[in-house]
Structure 1
Amino acid sequence: MPKDQGIGARSKRREDVRFLTGAGRYTDDINVPGQTYAAFVRSEVAHGKITKIDTSDAEKMPGVVKVFTAADFDGKGGVPCGWQIHDRQGNPMLEPKHPILAEGKVRYVGDAIACVVAETLEQARDAAEAVVVDIDELPAVMDMKAAVKGGALVHDELGSNLCYDWGFIEDNKAATDAAFETAHHVTTLELVNNRLIANPMEPRVALGHYNRAMDDYTLYTTSQNPHVIRLLMGAFVLSIPEHKLRVVAPDVGGGFGSKIFHYIEEAFVTHASRLINRPVKWTSTRSEAFLTDAHGRDHVTKIELALDKDGMFQALRTETYANMGAYLSTFAPSVPTYLHGTLMAGNYKTPHIYVNVKAVFTNTVPVDAYRGAGRPEATFQLERVIDKAAREMGIDPIELRRKNFVGADEFPYQTPVAVAYDTGNYQATMDVLEKIADLAGFEKRRADSAKKGLWRGLGVNCYIEACGIAPSNLVGQLGARAGLYESATVRVNATGGIVVMTGSHSHGQGHETAFPQVISEMIGIPESQVEIVHGDTANTPMGMGTYGSRSLAVGGSAMVKATNKIIAKAKKIAAHLLEASDGDIELKDGKFTVAGTDKSVDWGSVCLAAYVPHNYPLAELEPGLEETAFYDPSNFTYPSGAYACEVEVDPDTGKVTVCAFAAADDFGNVINPMIVEGQVHGGLAQGIGQALLEGAVYDENGQLLSGSYMDYAMPRADDVPFYTVDHSCCTPCTHNPLGVKGCGEAGAIGSPPAVVNAVIDALQRAGKTNVTHIDMPLSPSRVWAAIQG
């Protein structure tokens, strides 16, 4: 019988009650007395010198409180970057200032030049249109390879558009090159990982409120990590002591990485509120979101795979140009380096690997982490070149992968790219995939498609992910400017209810449901007795937020540590009440029992005794039951999986239809199977969207051509099939107390190469053997052109 409580139960998401009934409390729902509204004046050109800003007409318009320019932020810092990369020679990356409002120059379409604050939003927008800005337009830096060779500079003071030239691991280079010299076969592939725009349901909002009486600040914002925003903005931008700055991220309607970062609008409303002594609110329009939210991906790569005569991998090397955009977003430098290069081993035993990344400034929106963050880019390169190698050598794609897998008996496995996998069983995951995808029945389905005049293809790929980036001392050596631990405070009430205050943040992951399941399992009380509090720096311990599939592995582990402290103290109280040794006390199903006897006391009675200590071991214990714990992992977690996609291609139009998709994942121990399935479903939709539909496109002048839903194709329900998902393969993580690995990004990592492999397979089977690759998105026009070519 399935469980109805605790770990493994399919508990329904309790937060969905308020979300589905319109009772959620999002940032734009928050309004405070005396509130004003902000509207930004943004650059309409990608690159140019500001020669004049005339605000005189705007200042006279009805309702205008103040018009701000860069001069109002003199002495304030720029928005900081949270990760510093050193290049192949050990030199630090080039790091330009990112001002709150443009200083002297604009560097992308959407760059904020000025901002009008007015009594109403309509008045602010009207006045913003009256601000006159003169700009001497400069050539836009758009092509990454050309940008590093000379010409126009995004940042004149840097003297180069090359942020860094990174080699990983540099000591591997000579051995890798030597392996290519002696290889039996070398497969080469050049590909693009297309630029994406995150588009969460809720656009960004920021509301700054300065309280002159208390000389403190509150920022309400749509953020995935409010404590990090408080640290970055308070310490590095506005010089506000942390105890005087509260950051609140209430219900947040999705993030996918785009709400991790500290944005200029957050700093603007906070400082502007002080200058006018009134609250200032900014709500992004969807059009602004396209132009200002950090974009994702945007890599151009050459990858080479060396094999021996039996198809065993000998070496891998890559050269990637990674777009940083006009400024360095919070985690941008880490994405194409340590979140990408460390995953280039994939699921395979490749003796020699060398990864080179050139990060380039361009006149585009800054690029940063987007669901998967570096891991999808690595997996796409690797799984596409493996598929191409299989065709060139005449080896079945699954057979080629199987013979190169890390064996189940070889864990822990040290890769040549620094990371060490603790557990996994890639053969078992592939076994499950072959079954659930019914690969044996593919030829019949292909024949049925042919009767309709359609070409059917099958794409298979594997992935591995590194989640819960850690430990802090290691990532500090790699350039992280913050720790990557997590925290939790567990407070037990006198009547036995529990409140957990976590540094993690939920913006769709279901923390309010899954976290209580863990505590329910540990103590044996109903999940309904546990409440989760997050998103407010005033009542949660310092934490690093939610991204990189870290919530349960890192935040949940902190919660387990704090709960274990609670249980240990509660056992001492129970032992006193039962006149026994605490070493003899057992806790099960919410009851403390003296081992080997029928003497017991229930959870509620022990909690009451802690707060009404009439019969209490006061000499040994303080009253109360509240504990805090911090958890800093000793390693990443490494979820993995194998995916299969079947497509039909219409040869007359190039239209691709995804007919079936199967995903076999190893997430370690699963807390709530229903939530895990939902996370995988969502990730698959985003990955299929990248593969077939989505792409942020700029012209040569830096104008964003795909700046609305009229031009940026998001996946709809009829673009994706019903999925078959399985997570029965379980190799628990060995270094966190829950044995969990992370599931939130898996679908977005594994699905793009599966879709592209399937389309190429369809064309190859139809005789188009010259088509070995098509860059994403595989739109009908691109596929049709490949067929004709």
Structure 2
Amino acid sequence: MAKITMTVNGKSVSGEVEGRTLLVDFLRNDLRLTGTHVGCDTSQCGACTVHVDGIAVKSCSMLAAEADGADVSTIEGQANADGSLSAIQAAFQEHHGLQCGFCTEDFRFLTGSGNYTDDINVHGQAYVAFARSNVANGKIISLDTSAAEGLDGVLAVFTGADFADVGGNPAGWLINSRDGEPMKEPKRPVLAHGKVRHVGDAYAAVVAETEEIARDAVELISANIEELPAVVDLKSALDNKHLVHDEIETNQCFDWGWIEDNREKTDQAIANAPHVTTLELVNNRLVPNAMEPRCSLADYNAGNDEYTLYTTSQNPHLTRLLISAFVMGIPENKLRVIAPDVGGGFGSKIYHYGEEALVLAASKKIGRPVKWTATRTESFLSDAHGRDHVTKIELACEKDGTFIAFRTETYANVGAYLSNFSTATPTFLHGTLMSGNYSVPNVYVNVKAIFTNTAPVDAYRGAGRPEATYSLERVIDKCARELGIDPLELRKKNFVKPDQFPYTTAVGLEYDTGNYDALVDKLRDLADLQGFDQRRKESEANGMLRGLGVNTYIEACGIAPSNLVGVLGSRVGLYDAATVRVNATGNISVMVGAHSHGQGHETAFPQVVAEMLGIDEGLIDIVHGDTSKIPFGMGSYGSRSLAVCGSAVVRATEKIINKAKKIASHMLEASEADIELKDGVFSVSGTDKAVSFGDVALKAYIPHNYPLEDIEPGLEESAFYDPANFTYPAGAYACEVEVDPDTGAVKIAKFTAVDDFGNIINPMIVMGQVHGGLAQG
């Protein structure tokens, strides 16, 4: 151990560190300055940047001992002495440098005061590290953990045998094949047992006093794994020569058709069509890369036999339900799941992962809290991936371009195991959008889901809908070229028209409203598409190439309703819930089932409540992410937070208003029907008799001279909301690029986005979300 002294944010600090301790770990773990983060393990992301003697340094690539005697400044030290933001913090605010625009919650992030799972430490906690497969397919012949168990500081070692009797992590949707056969659902174990099925598949775990000891011990595990031929190609996987799961005797999870009644007439329409455009596409696999890697901290209390799990989740109640009902068998009332600030999710943090179950079991076994934080490399190997489709799509049309039919055949990679939503993503979130914005009478979709020796695939930013849009828009562009028709005009010719709404598509959705022609017309003007030929000539004169791409889209958002998704195979409901609690002093807590991890809930939800009650938004706080405090909700994904959970907030607030009017009518000695609420004041219509919202709140909790036979004390209401349909935002985009033919360098010269999102609560948040989506492609 070496003793070091340095100045951090103007204060002298000292400590003892191992020679291998990084500066970032000293700052986070010893000094508890958690505004400095670890976002990668290759010194690339910059989340760990600090100033050392006035120079920006990535603290994950500098030893703590190297900073001995230095002057170090972290994000916590950037604020000015008077508490105002520094220049860089103010610039983030001014230029909306956060995805949600600039939100109430962003102030704590800008000042390093966020509270992420890896920032949380519990007294006496131990650490876990995982041994992961470096082969895609292999039989586990033997595991020798004796050397790891004998290392000083090791507390426990787990293998798959320790979890052989617990449940598997289930798929959330049951999809039947076209012939009615149920999908194949092999068990997904907490730790691989008998066989590893993808690179990164965890087969052992070590719990130790420190993270470093745990990782050292993992290296001491001797794994005799017989490498087997790996299945990675989607189409060849169907020959079943090499199986991912021997027990199901096939690599096909299901062979799904939608809508099966459309199949014959779609085939006939294409066979008889004057023109058919065919296109084969690869929608490549994507790896989610949220700024915060996954992390879990479990704390078992033997005194009351209760567990607390802090975890990076978009969906804490679903995580608790899956662990309780399917995996660990922990009574739901004995498991508390807390998802604090989460640094991005994009779908990959919706699901339950085996690491969460492992830390819970480990905490109970050793009688201490146990923590795991993924490295970025682990995240790439173990987080659910996205997309990975191979698609053949056919577009049949008349000679004038009128669409007759779409037919799609997709091979969807689900990876080595089914993740919680992996069967829904390529089917009902993809197939039901295969008519796009278009009025087309015949659509048939066939999806073959294939097991391969790759990381599991599930919902990733858009989840099925972008895959549908990509296929449709690409084949329409090819058709336009074949027919010699302007691509935008071909789209406009076939759009669902405003007078056709509500419009039921050939794949079973009912679009409520829209004006797609207007979107394209606005795009033409904003992007100056008429001037493109001139700009292309100017580029060519400078030795450059210039290209233009256009597309339109429609998306099903507000993922629900329960009665529909139940018919389609969902094992969960897709409602959401809110509780509005008005305290005696008039401030309000709103507990929501949704989880905010960049969406701006702490800004948007208070806006809704404040507008309805006519009070200041500063009186309202949002509570989310803690299953012991919030109603049972289904989390945040599928662009559903405001549409579904926000509607639950509205309903709960309406109940608050109704009860508050009863109390006000008693206070004002007037009929309830005559009570009006405006600008936070209840008044008797047509008179000057009035009482403030705050006075009504106080009266609710001090019920002197109170009609208890008619009104209960207190002012708190809950509501669940299950929508009758999706919402259907739509848009039209254009991207203009310039290409250097000598180097291949591509420059985006102009990008124009036109979106119809319906009613907008906070325009800045919406713009931030659009910018974030564009940045991710």
TM-score, L = length of structure 2:
0.86
Residues 89 and 261 (structure 1), Cα distance of their counterparts in 2 relative to 1, 3 Å cut: same
Picking from 647, 653, 662, the partner of 1:572 is: 662
Per-residue deviation at 1:85?
Answer: 0.6
Letter in 2 for 1:333: T
Q: 1:741 maps to which residue?
A: none
Picking from 372, 375, 381, the partner of 2:471 is: 381
Q: 1:51 maps to which residue?
A: 141
Per-residue deviation at 1:79?
Answer: 1.3
Q: 2:731 maps to which residue?
A: 641
Q: 1:775 maps to which residue?
A: none
Per-residue deviation at 1:12?
Answer: 4.5
Q: What whole-Å deviation, never above 9, does each CA across 1:482-523 have from its counterpart, x for those lacking one?
A: 110000000001121110000000001000001000011101
1:459 matched to 2:549? The reply is: yes
For residues 11 and 550 of structure 1, the distance between their equivalents in structure 2, rounded to whole angstroms, comes to 18
Q: 1:435 maps to which residue?
A: 525
For residues 357 and 110 of structure 2, the distance between their equivalents in structure 1, rounded to whole angstroms, comes to 32
For residues 102 and 437 of structure 2, the distance between their equivalents in structure 1, rounded to whole angstroms, comes to 34
| SS at structure 1 position matched to 2:720 | strand
Q: What whole-Å deviation, never above 9, does each CA across 1:570-629 have from its counterpart, x for those lacking one?
A: 011111111111111111111112122222111111111111112433221001100010
1:356 matched to 2:446? The reply is: yes
Q: 1:728 maps to which residue?
A: none
Q: What whole-Å deviation, never above 9, does each CA across 1:420-477 have from its counterpart, x for those lacking one?
A: 0011111111122112112122222212211221111111110000011221121111
For residues 574 and 159 of structure 2, the distance between their equivalents in structure 1, rounded to whole angstroms, comes to 35
Q: 2:268 maps to which residue?
A: 178
Q: 1:279 maps to which residue?
A: 369
Letter in 1 for 2:276: V
Letter in 1 for 2:307: Y
Picking from 596, 612, 620, the partner of 2:702 is: 612
For residues 430 and 581 of structure 2, the distance between their equivalents in structure 1, rounded to whole angstroms, comes to 39
Note if contact 1:261-1:330 (Cα within 8 Å) is conserved in structure 2. Answer: yes
For residues 125 and 428 of structure 1, the distance between their equivalents in structure 2, rounded to whole angstroms, comes to 58
Q: What whole-Å deviation, never above 9, does each CA across 1:613-669 have from its counterpart, x for those lacking one?
A: 124332210011000100011111101101111011222233322111111111110
For residues 342 and 139 of structure 2, the distance between their equivalents in structure 1, rounded to whole angstroms, comes to 37
| 1:703-718 correspondence runs (5 A) | none
| 1:501-540 correspondence runs (5 A) | 501-540=591-630
Picking from 232, 244, 249, the partner of 2:322 is: 232
| 1:382-401 correspondence runs (5 A) | 382-401=472-491
Q: 2:32 maps to which residue?
A: none
| 1:152-167 correspondence runs (5 A) | 152-167=242-257
| 1:337-352 correspondence runs (5 A) | 337-352=427-442
Picking from 496, 503, 519, the partner of 1:413 is: 503
| 1:447-486 correspondence runs (5 A) | 447-486=537-576
Note if contact 2:131-2:202 (Cα within 8 Å) is conserved in structure 1. Answer: yes
| 1:23-422 correspondence runs (5 A) | 23-422=113-512
Q: 2:12 maps to which residue?
A: none
Note if contact 2:191-2:202 (Cα within 8 Å) is conserved in structure 1. Answer: yes
| 1:4-23 correspondence runs (5 A) | 12-23=102-113
Note if contact 1:206-1:221 (Cα within 8 Å) is conserved in structure 2. Answer: yes
| SS at structure 2 position matched to 1:334 | coil
Per-residue deviation at 1:11?
Answer: 9.3
| SS at structure 1 position matched to 2:183 | coil
Note if contact 1:577-1:615 (Cα within 8 Å) is conserved in structure 2. Answer: no
Per-residue deviation at 1:80?
Answer: 1.5
For residues 183 and 402 of structure 1, the distance between their equivalents in structure 2, rounded to whole angstroms, comes to 20
| SS at structure 2 position matched to 1:490 | strand
| SS at structure 2 position matched to 1:332 | coil
For residues 539 and 556 of structure 1, the distance between their equivalents in structure 2, rounded to whole angstroms, comes to 18
Q: What whole-Å deviation, never above 9, does each CA across 1:321-342 have from its counterpart, x for those lacking one?
A: 0000000001000000000000
| SS at structure 2 position matched to 1:372 | coil
For residues 445 and 608 of structure 1, the distance between their equivalents in structure 2, rounded to whole angstroms, comes to 66
Note if contact 2:164-2:193 (Cα within 8 Å) is conserved in structure 1. Answer: no
| 1:518-667 correspondence runs (5 A) | 518-667=608-757
Note if contact 1:609-1:615 (Cα within 8 Å) is conserved in structure 2. Answer: no
For residues 445 and 612 of structure 1, the distance between their equivalents in structure 2, rounded to whole angstroms, comes to 72
Gaps of 5+ in 1: 1-9, 688-789
Note if contact 1:225-1:504 (Cα within 8 Å) is conserved in structure 2. Answer: yes
Q: What whole-Å deviation, never above 9, does each CA across 1:38-65 have from its counterpart, x for those lacking one?
A: 0100001000100010001111101000
Note if contact 1:226-1:535 (Cα within 8 Å) is conserved in structure 2. Answer: yes
| SS at structure 2 position matched to 1:194 | strand
**Aligned Cα RMSD in Å?**
1.0
Per-residue deviation at 1:150?
Answer: 2.4
For residues 277 and 765 of structure 2, the distance between their equivalents in structure 1, rounded to whole angstroms, comes to 40
| SS at structure 1 position matched to 2:296 | strand
Gaps of 5+ in 2: 1-99
For residues 633 and 673 of structure 2, the distance between their equivalents in structure 1, rounded to whole angstroms, comes to 33
Letter in 2 for 1:307: C
For residues 193 and 218 of structure 2, the distance between their equivalents in structure 1, rounded to whole angstroms, comes to 18
Letter in 1 for 2:629: N
Note if contact 1:11-1:513 (Cα within 8 Å) is conserved in structure 2. Answer: no
| SS at structure 2 position matched to 1:125 | helix
For residues 73 and 300 of structure 1, the distance between their equivalents in structure 2, rounded to whole angstroms, comes to 35
For residues 173 and 215 of structure 1, the distance between their equivalents in structure 2, rounded to whole angstroms, comes to 55
| 1:659-698 correspondence runs (5 A) | 659-687=749-777
For residues 372 and 215 of structure 2, the distance between their equivalents in structure 1, rounded to whole angstroms, comes to 11
| SS at structure 1 position matched to 2:395 | strand
For residues 532 and 101 of structure 2, the distance between their equivalents in structure 1, rounded to whole angstroms, comes to 36
Note if contact 2:101-2:766 (Cα within 8 Å) is conserved in structure 1. Answer: no
For residues 462 and 442 of structure 1, the distance between their equivalents in structure 2, rounded to whole angstroms, comes to 19
| SS at structure 2 position matched to 1:476 | helix
Note if contact 1:227-1:542 (Cα within 8 Å) is conserved in structure 2. Answer: yes
Letter in 2 for 1:496: G
Q: 1:759 maps to which residue?
A: none
For residues 415 and 655 of structure 1, the distance between their equivalents in structure 2, rounded to whole angstroms, comes to 41
| 1:774-785 correspondence runs (5 A) | none
Q: Which runs of 4+ in 1 moved over 4 A?
A: none
| SS at structure 1 position matched to 2:423 | helix
Letter in 2 for 1:207: L
| SS at structure 2 position matched to 1:575 | helix
Note if contact 1:11-1:672 (Cα within 8 Å) is conserved in structure 2. Answer: no
For residues 141 and 754 of structure 2, the distance between their equivalents in structure 1, rounded to whole angstroms, comes to 58
